[in-house]
Amino acid sequence: MALPTKNRLKNKKDFDAVFKKGKALNGSFLFLKALPSSRGYPRFGFIVAAKFAPKAVLRNKVRRLLADVIWPDRLPNMPSCDTVVVVTKKIPADISVIRDDFVATLRQARFI
């Protein structure tokens, strides 16, 4: 299931603001950057480069997998932040490794 539209980062301006002013956190496969916001709800953007997942099908699958980790159970309880998640290493054959790394990174950031 996809994230609700209000919980998605869509504009380049929003991504640039998070990259410029946000706090960074590294996982083993992911890089997370978060910027507190006053909107009252969290927003997420996912970046999976073609360098790490050459096929669009795989890139989209990873984005959906990351969105499924937080939606619908964890998203309502998260702090109001604009967050960008970037995949920084080649996608392993077992996609669940990415999911586990994302959950561990969210716990480290105290989002969950």
Would you identify the CATH topology of the domain 5-108? Ribosomal Protein S5; domain 2 (3.30.230)
> What pLDDT does residue 95 have?
79
Structure tokens at 21: 């002013």
**Residue pLDDT, tens place only, 8-37:** 999 999 999 999 999 999 988 899 999 999
> What pLDDT does residue 49 have?
93
> What pLDDT does residue 74 have?
85
pLDDT above 90: residue 47:
yes
Nearest residue to 84 via CA among 3, 1, 24, 4: 24
pLDDT above 80: residue 98:
yes
> What pLDDT does residue 1 have?
67
Whether the bond between 72 and the residue before it is cis, its omega within 30 degrees of 0, is yes
Give the up-direction half-sphere exposure of residue 19: CA atoms within 13 A in the CB hemisphere.
Answer: 12
| Residue 87: band (very low, low, confident or very high) from pLDDT cuts 50, 70, 90 | very high
pLDDT above 90: residue 92:
no
